[in-house]
Chain A
Amino acid sequence: MSDASISDKPQKPIPRPSPESAPYWEAAAQHKLRVQKCNACGQHWFPPSQRCPHCTAADFSWAEVSGRGKVFSFVVFHRVYHPAFEGEVPYVVALVELAEGPRLLTNIVGIAPDEVRCEMAVKVLFEDVAAGVAVPKFTPA
């Protein structure tokens, strides 16, 4: 069996959207951050699913959000779990709470890992990782 971890030129994993998440990634490719917003109760949610986890309504829109939020918590990877990240350690993976409520797993970039703090204000930016694929990351606001 071939495996990314033993191939010659390790590539970072590219998101493989599900039917539910495809609109999220289509928006990201255009450098827009969109999450689902319930047309019944008005709340936003993430990760994508076909019904609102707040009220179970199936009526929703993909709403563009502010891209602003704060670091709820974060970790710093020192161990290389995937060879494509060998040159990146130490790097920060954070849980960012958007102003609209949902929390997103992401990277914090543009700041030294030891300067990242919980509750730090951050804003979104987009990193183009392949043709037609961009990944939202966050940087201090």
Chain B
Amino acid sequence: MSVDLLLSPGFIIIGAAVLLCLPTARWRKIVVGVAPLLALLRLWALPTGSHGTVAVATFNLDLLHVTATGRLFASAFLLAVWLGGMFAAASASRRELISAYVYAGSAISVTLCGDLITLFLFWEAMAVTSAVVIWSARTRAAWSAGMRYLLIHLFGGVILLAGIALWYSTGGSLQLGVLQRPSLGYWLIMAGFLVNTGAPPLSFWIADAYPQASPTGMVFLAAFTTKTAVYVLISYFAGADILIPIGLYMAIYGALYALREDNVRRILAYSIVNQVGFMVAAVGIGGEMAINGATAHAFAHIMYKTVLLMGAGSVMLSTGEQRGSALGGLARRMPWTSACVLIGAAASMGVPLTSSFVTKSLILEAAAEHHLSMVWLTLIICSAAVVFNAGVRFPYLTLFQPQQSEAVEHGHDPGTLSRVAMMLTAAICLLVGLFPGYFYTLLPYPSNYHPYNVAHILEQLQLLLPAALLFFISLPLTTPVGQIQLDTDWLLRRPLLAMWHNGIMRLLALGLRSRDYAVASLVRGYTLLFHYHGPRGILARSWPTGSIALWVALMLVSYVILFTLRSMDMATFIKLYLHG
């Protein structure tokens, strides 16, 4: 393995995870602050293309293959792990930090690998390490949610592996590139990737698992899995029409479910599904502008969701609350957090001068360019509906509504390092929005799109303000307290779980019965054998000579009768018998 491969940005982060085992907190903070920046420098020093392969059996694994798209995704991941690590350094457990770093390193390696086998290996590493991040919260709910999360992702992994095997067996190439020939393998690979985006019918896992992680753990979780899935969809399925309705469903689903949610971190989790829906739809639209839009929006989303989750984490760490119905009134107690959350919320809605304004509009423009009017209309409505989740609902419930409980009185801004991390993330959200021209040069395809014109700014505000007005008017109707919405996870958690338990019990009972029967048969057989062949058994006795002579005579007579019967035909025998 060459030095180039060993110094891959993903491996640097995985190596940093080993250094995080150091017992001193000060050294851990240094590793967290330095390693991602080194990896980022290394990433941008690497030219595009393959940097050597490793032969394993009959396969050549392309462990480090840099593309423009992969580089931007990897940069976003490195920034997320750097800022997330700084935010978490003071309060996260060592186990959480180490698993988060291996998870991030695996995600970065997925974006920088050049074949499906390497992709699968890091894909599975991501599934396991992210489950450990969830379990690091050390609560019963986190344990159960982590198990469900792992189950879903291992299921996705099995589908992906089956797809890769089928694809390869039918002559398909394993190298990085858009798959062209729809076959069973093609569809299975796509399904495996879609599981990680939170596509239907498995959209529930994001809101089920992420909010059960620790306040710092969710910051890491929100950045990697779904965006890695968007990256692989761009790399292998750009322009696949089927992704458009899937993306639209996700965008609507996220907006709807967030609207009835009380838990602020679940609101943000639904917002992830909503925004990833935009990216999946953009991949389905295909073409240079749409792919640019999906890539740019993934970068912007990682940044603004990171700052929002840092805000939610700070609130949770200081108040111990994450129910919107128990928060509010924190804006004055947490001024730095509030300022950063407001920037993140503005970026999520696409307010002019923030990141999403210059990235989401690429996707909308691509839909219009392809004359997909219904797609454009749905995306425009879902774009306005961001107000219902991360845009207005989350900051209002957390910071600006009247104080709802005494827990809020403990609210305060986090420590210096966490605050700096939050402010840097918010600054990136603003920088992307303020200098779109420079940001567009980093995208996979050249772009001459200009987001800042009077019409676009007015249209965006015309979308957002009426939506905000509707949100505030309908607030009493859409704020259920102490309620959850059932999702397709109900099938997993009720009937399938019951079937599993019943099946296991029945199998165990059957196993026990079979074992008892086998043991009883063995004992019976042995007793019988002992009865005849034992020391007192009939076949083990020494018989007198007379008995033996009698037995021999009987055997001879039988032999004579059998011989007579065999040598004459049946008719002669009957005649002899009847007439003497």
* A pairs with B: no
